[in-house]
Amino acid sequence: MLGYCVEAVLQRVEVEIRFARERQEYPERYAGSSDDGPLAVWTSNNNKMEIAELMLGIYLAKVLHTPDGMLMEYREVIRLAERAFGVKISNHRELKRDIFKRTNELVIFLKRLIFLIEQERDKKDA
């Protein structure tokens, strides 16, 4: 068991080193900073939970990769959203846990998005 833990730590360190080297070699990929301001403003009362739910879906779809081809971790996907929307989601692990603990509706925001898309399609078909 200890061997697995050590191996996991070493793999994580290797990923972080690779990421740091990539930032040094290709600074243009990381040119923007949080000082540049958000790309958009999320205007709802429950923005952090909605962003966490959306990013969790994107993370689980396994469609986002780093420029060097590595599958992005959940926290990296959250960082993208933080940068894009100018919010700090320091409790993203708790939000993820809360999403999975839901008993009635697991994905409230994503279901709302599906409904809105289908509603728009129906309006265009009418």
pLDDT at residue 34 tops 60: no
Instruction: Estimate to the nearest angstrom the gap between the alpha carbon of 119 and the chain centroid.
Output: 26
78 burial level (CB within 10 Å; 0-12, 13-18, 19+):
buried
pLDDT score recorded for residue 33: 52
pLDDT score recorded for residue 111: 92
pLDDT digits (tens, 9 = 90+) for 99-113: 999 988 889 999 999
Model pTM above 0.85: no
pLDDT score recorded for residue 5: 67
Terminal C-alpha separation, the chain: 60
Q: Give mean pLDDT, residues 51-73.
A: 94
- CA–CA dist 7, 1 (Å, integer): 10
- Contact criterion met (CB below 8 Å) for 96 and 56: yes
Instruction: Supply 46's token pair.
Output: 């429950």
pLDDT-above-90 percentage for the chain: 54
Name the DSSP class of 65. Answer: B
pLDDT at residue 125 tops 90: no
pLDDT digits (tens, 9 = 90+) for 63-82: 999 888 999 999 999 999 99
